[in-house]
Structure 1
């Protein structure tokens, strides 16, 4: 069977994978079973937590004798652990398949290693087919799995002189309506939105994603509150359509690992200067989303607090990714170098 046939089947498996849920603990995976002659015998994709994985879903369409000697093309390396379902690598071994072709290795500490298990069982394994395309498709899940934490975007809105509030603490509104709409779009596109308890107590945010008329958008991020102080029972965040996750800790790496284990792949942080600076200092910010308004406020209320930069040689340089004009405001996107 040719590499071209593998690539065609992998592209179809990728189309199948796109039918699965885009959020949650599990990745979107698709699988295609080919006969020794290269004909499609079955296909499957993962429909969500607790359901059969893509390979098993495809095998379930076949009689046992049909799977023997077949080639299974799957977007992600077959898993090697028992969770809500058994290991896919063992299911493929038990089915008697002759070859497994996959695009990207599973980076999970518990789930990885399926390819080696297959090889030990005498099954031919081919890796890396359309790996670049599958990497892009699974980028958020792969990042979270590889780093044991979500991809973190830190956002703030500030005046041109870097102030996020006036001297009395008032901050509504520094930016205009178009910029505020973009913030809600970014919230909607994120798995979760995180603030500290200080922000909850001071501003009482709802952390919802809303449309132009203030209506709730169909897709909502999970609200997360981080800090050791209690969240009031009547806080607006407790009326969020999704249950709030309260993390009573200051341990950022541990908190992010907890979120990743809950299926949070992308995290949008809207923190005050103390918590925002803690994320930056710990090296836990993957992208900065900074809204700048053409106004001046002066005073002490800056976007970030002390970052431990004692001299100009220690400044934290960023790579500029994009600058977008939103009416009178600017949205600057940057990433750490």
Structure 2
């Protein structure tokens, strides 16, 4: 029998995501998919899944669900969080992120809000098995399709889980950590010439802070103004995740996975792919600094990030559980009956 997850507490915006839709942007369909692809790959590896199995992406708040039908393995990555597994008749057990956790049938699993990150990724052995659309199970909230009924999860939803084989519980020995403030490398363009030289200097002169206007479509920053050389409007052309637009407010907007496929604001720069997951993890109020690099440096960073991720997956090792102290069991066995002093 395959497993199911019954959602008890859905969190603010928990969605089904995977690697996203490839080849449909020409139809006006955003790619969508996880905001943190390395976290998805690590989470899937921890529970024994293929790299592209669909996962749950939590945003800002936690999640609780009940495991039905069969036992599963669970892993949370992309942020620090507590994973509590409660089985009827037993004390709850709390685990850290960045490791696989066994959740038997009937268990209530509660995942805390991610710490120091806007998002966290939750993988389940077998993957979330919702129907694919255009080759992907990713949820596109603004269009209302993909994932589970095209929307964020609600209490009472029952998610199907794919079949999985037995596998050891694995852990990441050295979870990645983000530096503060975040360093976001960018390549200038494609419309950097639509901005003044002062704007291009301002982009890297001081930190920008994430505002409350942040979601899966993009992040609005506040900081030094990016002044336009002329109008802030252009003939609409292609945009993609990583594009930094500057509308009439002169404040940068970084586009993310659910961004539209075309836009009419000039784009001063593009965040390189290696740093885009770090940008997506930023929470409101956190600071980031932009750094201009060459195309060649951006490509080298992408190769280095791929190599580091492959090394992190290869380094996953079986979990070594610590000893569990059961005071009640010790009293039942009466192991020290009759001893009243250390000299007797």
- Class of the TM-score when normalised by the shorter of the 2 chains: under 0.3
Higher relative contact order (CA 8 A, sep 6+): 2
Between structures 1 and 2, the one with greater strand share: 2
Between structures 1 and 2, the one with greater helix share: 1
- With normalisation by structure 1, the TM-score equals 0.26
- With normalisation by structure 2, the TM-score equals 0.26
